[in-house]
Amino acid sequence: MSLTLHYHPLASYCWKALIALYENDIPFTPNLVDLGNPAERAALVKLWGIGKFPVLRDEARNETVPESSIIVEYLDRHYRGPVRFIPDDYSRALQTRLYDRFYDLYVHLPMQKIMIDRMRPDGKHDPHGVEEARAQLRTSYAMIEQQLAKGSWAVGEEFGLADCAAAPSLFYGRMVVPFGDANKNLAAYFERLRARPSFARVMQEAEPYFQMVPKEP
């Protein structure tokens, strides 16, 4: 196989790339990276100097592709399947990229802020930052609730890049700020994501690692 995905099965951004690969049954070799292992971390840094996953290596095209959104778009162009992640229509493509960024920046990022704070030792917590992150999630949920009134998926009626971003963001987001009764469209959308075979497979593969997810103190 020419494609290798360097990843960890618990990492939410890796889920985004995995969902895209599974949606179109794209053959690839998974390479699980343990960042606590100096040799494995060094190998990842050699591929992508930032040292974060996922990173996709394409030997056939001699390309190294970092960052989840870029990986999904790369697959959409060079390993195209029946599911199109970026529409050809410019306006729809722009909306897709907008909501991809929205889920990454305004759902995933505040969720991650809260999760990371749970891992800090006593005396090093940031309660003000955590409350700001919770407020951002509540605002984002309300905006998503309105957006979802327009269609079944993140942007209209077709599954795409923004849904790949939404699935992991909402999976972990609901652990730190539940959706609540006011977000029925959002809750129903998340259930549609969970029922998607690609996302169900990602969750199944991650299940053995779920005990590593930091719990609320």
Total number of domains in the chain: 2
Given this model, what pLDDT does residue 1 score? 66
Residue at 213 is within a domain: no
Which residues have a Cβ under 8 Å from the Cβ of 139 and sit 6 or more positions away?
106
Same domain, 31 and 94: no
**pLDDT (mean) for 85-111:** 96
Say if residue 133 is in the same domain as residue 157. Answer: yes
pLDDT, tens digit (0-9, with 9 covering 90-100), for 12-44 = 999 999 999 999 999 999 999 999 999 999 999
Tell me: do 109 and 74 sit in the same domain: no
Mean pLDDT, the chain, rounded, equals 95
Q: What is the DSSP string of 81-137?
A: -SS-SS-SSHHHHHHHHHHHHHHIIIIIHHHHHHHHHHTSPTT---HHHHHHHHHHH
pLDDT in tens, 40-57: 999 999 999 999 999 999
- Please report whether residue 13 resides in a domain: yes
| Structural domain boundaries, residue 133 | 90-196
CATH number, residue 119: 1.20.1050.10
Residue with tokens 């100097």: 49
Q: pTM score, two decimals?
A: 0.94
